[in-house]
Each structure stands twice: as C-alpha cells, then as structure tokens.
Amino acid sequence: MGVKEILEDGKLGREEIITLLEATGEDKQLLFKRANEIKLQELGNLVHFRGLVEFSNICGKDCYYCGIRKSNREVHRYNVSDEQILDAARFAHMNAYGSFVMQAGELESPAFTLRVENLLKEIKILSKGELGITLSLGEQTEEVLERWFTAGAHRYLLRIESSNPELYQRYHPSDTLHDYARRLTSLKTLQRIGYQTGTGVMIGLPFQSTGDLADDLLFMKHFDIDMVGMGPYIEHQHTPLFQFRSELLPIQERFDLTLKMIATLRIMMKDINIAAATAMQAIDPLGREKAVKVGANIIMPNITPGKFRNDYALYENKPCVDEEPEECKNCLDVRIQLADGEIGYNEWGDSKHFHKRTAGE
C-alpha cells in the first residue's frame, strides 16, 4: 500500500509504519497533514508548557551516547541549590506554565530520595497545589517512586531509549546499572503506582534501522504509554558512540525522521501527550514549532538558572543556553503563535489518554 491508502485505511502495522517513516515529497506532506488534523480533532490547538529545570548534571551512569555520563571528565559538574529550584518553580507558577519538570543525572541514594521528596512537598505548598509536577530522574526502586508520588509528583518520564534489547545493549555498558529488563520493570512500576507514564527514544542512532524505529512506536502503543518525548540523536565528542559518527544519517535527515516519527505516532495514539524535544531545536531554530505542526502538543521551556545551562550538555549545540527564563518565555509566546498554536496557560495539560485508560475506557 502507498502512503495515501495507508492514511485512509488507518491501520498501522509494522510494514505500514515503515512506509510512513520512509515517505518523501508529497507523501511526507500528506502524513504531516493527517497527523495535524488528528491532533486538532482530538486535542485542539492547545500547546502546554512544562517549565524544565535540569537541576544537576551529576550522573551515576555511563550511557555511551550521553555527554554528562559519569566517565566524562571534561564536564563541570553542578547542583542547583534547593532555593534556586524553588525559585524556578515559583517562576513557572507565576508565569502560568501549569506544570514543572525536574530532571537531573541519574542518582539513587537515600539522600537524593529525601531531597526530591522535600522539594516536591515545598513546590506543592508554594503553588497551592496548582503546579503539576513531572519527574525525569531515571530508574528508581518502587519504594522511592511511591514516596515521590505521595509527595506530589504525578507524571514521570523514563525513555526506553531503544525498545530493542540488543540495540539497548550496544548503547549502554553491560552491567546491572544499565539493564534493559530493569528499565522495563521501572516503566511498569510507574504505571502501576498511578503516574502518567512517559517514555521515548532517540532517533538516528548508529546501528538503528527504520524497522527498529517502527518497533519503537509499536512498543509505545503496546505499552499503552501516556506521554512521549523523542528526539534526534546528536553525537557528542566526549562519548564512546562518537566513533561511529561516519555511519550516521546527515543531521537534517535525523531531524526529518523525527518529524515523521512524531506524525506517525500521533496517528497511532491520538490522545497522548507528545513533546517537541529540545534536541529538535538544536538542529533547527524552529524545530520545536515544526514538531507542533505535525502532532506534538507539549513544549518544555528550559527554566534552569542561566549560569548552569551550558553544563547540562547531553549533546552538542544545545539551544538557548545563554538565555534567562524570562527571555525564553517571551520568545516562546511568539513561536507558538507562528505554529498556529495557542498556549494552555494555567492548565496541567494532562494526558487525555491517561484519564481514559484509568477510567477503564
């Protein structure tokens, strides 16, 4: 079947997904158009903001793709103070962002658990319960995830990075800290506890085929995921995967493939939240807006205090590293309007899919 027939028929199996991901020219435009229509039908044109604070780049793990991996000695490590994190939460609240995301390098320790737990409670108090809170703090034990849920977090992002266990192994050291099975268990635990559960993958990694990407989308569907954040892989010179850079797709093609992944996923999962990843903006200044036009409905403005931003370099050319939160806000208002969107101020912007899933529909 061709792209037009697939879009009319609407049933997306592995072969059909591959055809969509390989679409070019007019076919590609048809895909984008259909995805945008579905988004407008299901979710309207509202884009929701999540104020993102990357509060520490200290990481206990050593993923082969990531610039802040433990073994990278070139990184200046930082930890934003509790007071500054709370200031950022106040900023998000006062600017009506509706939601707040706390992300950091991956650490598991009683002290870290307690710190996050206390911050969650304080953010709930300072925002009078109005600010939604998402965590993106990697794999944790069930007990820790329960504690954070009780303290006020209600969404959690944990990217599977690649849903193919063999590929996962090629992107991570072979040890208990980087175990695919544990990653999967953590995702299931998040769902069981009652978090709105988000995952995602990197697109354009070395050794990855279009078939693998189709499998990633099917994984999200079968997992009944509520939220997705996926972005292009961008090589970082101080990481092991950098040695395979000559095997990568040109960066523009990785960007284009990411747009097609977002559009295809929107057709497959009509009511989930899909974020326009910051990595898209690293490649194209209008990257996130382009994602919004093909199915994304969430943007995560970076509100990390300016002086720390340069050091949260998961990949190279990270955008907006020199800006302060206030400047980002003004810039985003304009950008979303340009993408024919409207910002859902003061709303949590929960995943509709989550509410249907938990209501048993």
The footprint of ligand FES (CB under 6 A) covers 59, 61-63, 66, 68-69, 105-106, 138
Best CA proximity match to 122, nearest among 95, 97, 100: 100
Summary count for the chain: helices (H), strands (E): 15, 10
Give the torsion through C-alpha atoms of 191, 196, 197, 200, to 10 deg.
Answer: 160
The residue range among 32-40, 214-222, 233-241, 328-336 that interacts with ligand 5AD, by the rule CB under 6 A, is: 233-241
SS3 126: helix
Two structure tokens written together for 251: 């960066």
For residue 75, state whether it binds ligand 5AD (rule: CB under 6 A): no
Least distance between ligand 5AD and beta carbon 256 (Å): 16
SS3 229: strand
SS3 314: coil
> Which one of ligand FES, ligand 5AD, none interacts with residue 133, CB within 5 to 8 A by kind?
none
Reported as half-sphere exposure (CB side, CA atoms, 13 A), residue 320 has a value of 25
Q: Which residue type occupies 339?
A: A
For residue 216, state whether it binds ligand 5AD (rule: CB under 6 A): no
SS3 46: strand
Least distance between ligand 5AD and beta carbon 215 (Å): 17
Buried b / exposed e over 192-222, threshold 16 CB at 10 Å, is ebebbbbbbbbbbbbebeeebbbbbbbbbee
Question: Do residues 163 and 201 lie in contact, with contact meaning Cβ atoms separated by under 8 Å?
Answer: yes
Given 231, 287, 341, 344, the residue binding ligand 5AD (CB under 6 A)? 231
For residue 159, state whether it binds ligand 5AD (rule: CB under 6 A): yes
**Residue list 183-212, contact with ligand 5AD (CB under 6 A):** 202
With CB under 6 A, what is the number of residues at the site for ligand 5AD? 12
Token pair 């304009």 in the structure block, residue: 334
> Which one of ligand 5AD, ligand FES, none interacts with residue 236, CB within 5 to 8 A by kind?
ligand 5AD
Nearer to ligand FES, 105 or 305 (CB): 105
Least distance between ligand 5AD and beta carbon 360 (Å): 31
The residue range among 106-114, 182-190, 230-238, 261-269 that interacts with ligand 5AD, by the rule CB under 6 A, is: 230-238
> Which one of ligand 5AD, ligand FES, none interacts with residue 138, CB within 5 to 8 A by kind?
ligand FES
> Which one of ligand 5AD, ligand FES, none interacts with residue 261, CB within 5 to 8 A by kind?
none
Cα angle: 166, vertex 167, 173; to 5 degrees = 90
Least distance between ligand FES and beta carbon 239 (Å): 9
Q: What is the number of the residue whose Cβ is closest to ligand FES?
A: 63
Given 100, 171, 233, 354, the residue binding ligand 5AD (CB under 6 A)? 233
For residue 287, state whether it binds ligand 5AD (rule: CB under 6 A): no
Least distance between ligand FES and beta carbon 69 (Å): 4
> Which one of ligand 5AD, ligand FES, none interacts with residue 106, CB within 5 to 8 A by kind?
ligand FES
CA distances for 313 relative to 46, 70, 72, 270, angstroms? 30, 13, 11, 32
The residue range among 124-132, 139-147, 217-225, 227-235 that interacts with ligand 5AD, by the rule CB under 6 A, is: 227-235
Best CA proximity match to 303, nearest among 143, 88, 129, 7: 88
Q: How far apart (Å, rounded) are the C-alpha atoms in residues 152 and 57?
A: 23
Q: How far apart (Å, rounded) are the C-alpha atoms in residues 183 and 180?
A: 5
Given 66, 137, 153, 228, the residue binding ligand 5AD (CB under 6 A)? 66
> Which one of ligand FES, ligand 5AD, none interacts with residue 61, CB within 5 to 8 A by kind?
ligand FES
The bridge status of strand 298-299 relative to strand 196-199 is: unpaired
Point out which residues bind ligand 5AD (CB under 6 A).
65-66, 159, 161, 202, 231, 233-234, 236, 279, 314-315
